[in-house]
């Protein structure tokens, strides 16, 4: 797989499971030191760290509630102080409540906006204090920013469209520093939050050109490319990896 990220320090928020864990493992396999944050899944985060360490990588896990802006900033600072810098930030943490607009209460709305949108701002602003030339900021959005084929996804789509716009604006601000900023928008991916045999699959799979859900490892491969040296001229982009869902 190569060590194109050797010497790099990466942070993956919400990295204890699913897409985040896949990304953490791929970045570590390519040589990066990886810090993963988690909110509740301490056991899974520690298992991930042990798995990466057992394969010759280096990883640490930090408990950070992405809904708490101060905690997000403190986590970034802790990683930077421990390893001396941060080269790669992957804003992966996300939550979704699927319900008609008149059934989403203020608590659900605030948490989705806080985790999916505000945390991206807090982490990105903070990490830029510790990131130099060649830095990478990659946010995991969703194709639901472009298309929502089911009822009840309006607020989730709002948050994911927001980060795509933020990416484009931020890329303009930091391009002269040699830092790239991109959004990856996965389509349906087989995770415990949205399993390929789950309740959404029956009416989702027919919409996919590939006829199947994606895997966390496939998303991780795209993120690793964006994090690496070959993607230095790619910035301000929204890249869909969705099995043809938006084709």
The alpha carbon of 60 is separated from its chain's Cα centroid by a whole number of angstroms, namely 17
156 is catalytic: yes
Place of tokens 């499971």: 17
In the DSSP assignment, the letter for residue 114 is I
In the DSSP assignment, the letter for residue 87 is -
Q: Which of 38, 109, 156, 213 is catalytic?
A: 156
Q: Which residues contact 107 (CB under 8 A, 6 or more apart)?
A: none
Instruction: Write out 118-149 in H/E/C secondary structure.
Output: HHHHHHHHHHCCCCCCCCEEEEECCHHHCCCC
Calpha distance 5→224 (Å, rounded): 9
Neighbours of 48 (CB within 10 A): 25
Strands 88-91 and 33-38: unpaired
Calpha distance 178→234 (Å, rounded): 11
Neighbours of 63 (CB within 10 A): 14
Calpha distance 80→65 (Å, rounded): 18
Hey, which residues are catalytic here? 156
């Amino acid at each position: 797989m190569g060590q194109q990220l050797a010497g790099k320090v990466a942070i993956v928020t919400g990295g204890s499971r699913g897409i985040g864990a896949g990304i953490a493992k791929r970045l570590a396999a390519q040589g990066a030191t990886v810090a993963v944050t988690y909110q509740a899944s301490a056991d899974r985060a520690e298992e991930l760290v042990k798995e990466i360490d057992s394969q010759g990588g280096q990883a640490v896990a930090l408990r950070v509630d992405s809904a708490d802006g101060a905690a997000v900033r403190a986590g970034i600072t802790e990683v930077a102080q421990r390893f001396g810098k941060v080269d790669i930030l992957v804003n992966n943490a996300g939550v979704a409540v699927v319900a008609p607009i008149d059934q989403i209460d203020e608590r659900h709305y605030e948490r989705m906006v806080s985790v999916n949108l505000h945390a991206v701002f807090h982490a990105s602003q903070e990490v830029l204090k510790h990131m130099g030339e060649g830095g990478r900021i990659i946010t995991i959005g969703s194709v639901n920013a472009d298309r929502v084929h089911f009822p009840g996804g309006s607020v989730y789509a709002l948050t994911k469209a927001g980060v795509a716009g933020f990416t484009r604006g931020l890329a303009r601000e930091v391009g002269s520093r040699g830092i790239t900023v991109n959004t990856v928008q996965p389509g349906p991916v087989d995770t415990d939050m949205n399993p390929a045999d789950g309740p959404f699959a029956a009416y989702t799979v027919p919409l996919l050109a590939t006829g199947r859900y994606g895997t966390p490892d496939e998303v991780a491969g795209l993120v690793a490319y964006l994090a690496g040296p070959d993607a230095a001229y790619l910035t301000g982009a929204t890249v869909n990896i969705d099995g043809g869902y938006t084709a």
